[in-house]
Amino acid sequence: MDYFKILNLNREPFSNSPEPEFFFESTVHLACLQQLELAIRLRRGLNVVMGDVGTGKTTLCRQLILRFSETEDDRAGVETHLLLDPSFSNPREFLTTVAQSFGLSADAAKSEWQLKESIKNYLFQKGVDEKKTVILIIDEGQKLPEFCLEILREFLNYETNENKLLQIVIFAQNEFKQTLKDHENFADRVNQYYFLGPLNFKETKMMIHFRLARAGRGSESPFLFTFPGMWGVYRATGGYPRKIVTLCHQILLSLIIQNRVKASWMMVRSTTGRLMPEMVRKERWAMAGALAVLLLAVAGFVLFMPGAWDIPKAAFLWKPAVNEPAAPEKPQVTAEAIPAEKPEVIRKAAGTPTPEKPEVGRSVAATPTRTPEKAAAEGTRPGQAPPEQLGQLQIRRGGTVLKLLLEIYGSTETARFRAVVRANPHIKDMNWVRAGETIHFPAVRGRGNPLDLEKIWVQIARKSSLKEAYNFFKDYPADQNAIQLIPLWNPRDGLAFVIVLKRGLPSLAAAGGAMRGLPSPLVANAEIMRKPESDTVYFAK
């Protein structure tokens, strides 16, 4: 099972690939993107975006390309070309790469001058004759050698009276500033600089929320970080998006491994210690420095406050102890000292709890305690109301509460998790459940049938108890088609646990083929799941 499914996610939320749909529009990134788009549409020529490692330059680069492919007009009137690694060894290599990117011939017989001429003719044809906008985007711009800057400067000379024929956007790390200082003739051509900085705490929190939501964790699911844990992420990463993604990925793995529901500050700190030990050391020194400054400030305030040195002379003189008479003892209040006309006060003073009065017409002995085991047993009887409990299971070695919730209920949403917490008062901390602990599972209703009625479902087993069903579920061969467990109830059959193939089939023929492909011991009991009655209650999502 993929780790993110245990956390009620549809896909990985913190992938280190620049996935466009996970682009978080922070104030800084959105403003940069809008200004670049405007400059390109106005054909202003050269634009430079700089930032530290991990500030989101590559992701922003991909977003810029997507911006010019969203509409039919842009797809027809804009061409985007991307150079990922501009560390070229000579001018001809750079010109050849640009020409091939434009779809031009760049055979070895052509000289550098011929390559430049073919690129120039191409830009005039596209920009003047076809009225198109040609964009050249260069990532990792800090790797550009000096001769590439000179060639790009020549490309910017290809222009009409109104605009530049080639729009160039360079994404580079901050050391590119020195390159621009050393080449003023190139820096003078820059239309716009934009500097990307890290996110603040609020944006860091919003980015994590956004990615989890995009990965399928809706608002009904509990958030995976405590507030101090979120602050720990911000402190450890400094608000740099790449570091946030890397650290949060490892934190989610720690949640599963340690069988926890939320990432606390201590978990974030321990994960940071493994990934970024230098950050923990810096934080320790910073905290030590801050504490020292605070102590010095307090000491200075105490020493130099008015009257701090006005110590009476008598304070330095030794005085012999003087025997003073002891204070008279207070009389002890006993139960006998309390008036007899208030017997309830006597009982409280003596430490005896006051028994509650039974309701009129109701015997205390007539309301026995309803244990989870008894509730589950009674719920299996047909003809009664839906059960209160599905049953109980023992945590296996390596198992987690979150995984059990996902396997039994098909979800780890807040309502189910809280119901499980209430049903297990003997578990002090659901974040830390040892192997062998017994967990009671309440009968939390789902929102209707979890199976698509338009498809045909193959039932491979039907059990009457949660323990039997779960053992069957866990012992099912891993190399076979995936299965799912569905608890349900109706007045005729009572509580049952149905195990079906996880994937619905489009036809009876396909379902028959799936049944024949089952392991031989299961073929005999496999059947097409019949259409459910309208009064069937499901306890899975």
Taking 70 as the pLDDT cut, the residues of the chain under it are 1-3, 109, 217-222, 277-383, 398-399, 431
DSSP 317: S
Half-sphere exposure of 277 (CA within 13 A, CB side): 1
Q: CB count, 10 Å around CB of 123?
A: 20
Separation between Cα atoms, residue 433 and residue 258, nearest integer Å: 9
- Element spanning 194, H or E: strand 190-196
Q: Which residues are bridge partners to 83 per DSSP?
A: 138
**pLDDT on residue 468:** 92
Separation between Cα atoms, residue 58 and residue 49, nearest integer Å: 11
**pLDDT on residue 500:** 93
Using CA atoms, how far residue 175 sits from 171, 189, 278, 318, 378, in Å, is 12, 19, 23, 71, 72
Using CA atoms, how far residue 263 sits from 186, 222, 233, 240, 255, in Å, is 49, 12, 10, 19, 7
**pLDDT on residue 365:** 37
Contact 119, 176 (CB under 8 A): no
- Rounded to the nearest angstrom, the gap between the alpha carbon of residue 515 and the centroid of all alpha carbons in its chain is 38
**pLDDT on residue 453:** 85
Provide the token pair at 97.
């790469």
Separation between Cα atoms, residue 514 and residue 109, nearest integer Å: 61
The structural domains of the chain, ordered by start, are 27-196 (3.40.50.300), 200-278 (1.10.8), 371-541 (no CATH)
Q: Collapsing DSSP states into helix, strand and coil, what is residue 207?
A: helix
Q: CB count, 10 Å around CB of 502?
A: 12
Q: Beta strand 458-463 with 527-528: parallel, antiparallel or unpaired?
A: antiparallel
**pLDDT on residue 436:** 84
- Element spanning 168, H or E: strand 166-172
Ordered DSSP codes for 368-408: ----HHHHHHHHTSTTSPPPSEEEEEEPPTT--HHHHHHHH
Ordered DSSP codes for 486-537: EEEEETTTEEEEEEEESS-BSSHHHHHHHHHTS-HHHHTT-EEPPPPPTT-E
Q: Which residues are bridge partners to 159 per DSSP?
A: 164
Q: Which residues are bridge partners to 500 per DSSP?
A: 459, 484
Ordered DSSP codes for 425-437: TT-S-TTS--TT-
**Torsional class of 56: left (φ above 0), alpha (ψ -120 to 50), beta (otherwise):** left
Separation between Cα atoms, residue 430 and residue 402, nearest integer Å: 9
Instruction: Name residues whose C-beta falls within 8 Å of residue 384's C-beta, 6 or more positions apart in sequence.
Output: 378, 491, 494
Contact 3, 10 (CB under 8 A): no
**pLDDT on residue 383:** 59
Ordered DSSP codes for 218-266: -TTSPPSB-HHHHHHHHHHHTT-HHHHHHHHHHHHHHHHHTT-SSB-HH
